[in-house]
Structure 1
Amino acid sequence: MTIFEGFGVLLMFLFGIYVGQALRFRREDKLRRERGK
């Protein structure tokens, strides 16, 4: 495995975590807003 391949895998891993956190936050925010009505 080259350094570039390792860096690519790390980037994909971090991006996946970021997207997952963003989606979960948006879903929780939507639920909170609906409950607050």
Structure 2
Amino acid sequence: MWEDNFWRQRIYQFYNTDIKALIIFAYCLFSSVTQFSC
């Protein structure tokens, strides 16, 4: 039970940071394509 909760927390933490990084990357990519500064 504890192990399942531990892995769920790890996955959630990784997912949360990964999504933030993806949003920043996508925004920078979009900005570079549309000639705006990142």
Structure 2 gaps, min length 5: none
Q: Per chain length, whose mean CA-contact separation is higher, i.e. which structure has more relative contact order (CA < 8 Å, sep 6+)? A: 2
Q: Which runs of 5+ in 1 are unaligned?
A: none
More helix, by proportion: 1
Instruction: Spell out structure 1 runs of 4+ moving beyond 6 A.
Output: none
Count of aligned positions: 36
TM-score, L = length of structure 2: 0.78
TM-score of the superposition, structure 1-length normalised?
A: 0.80
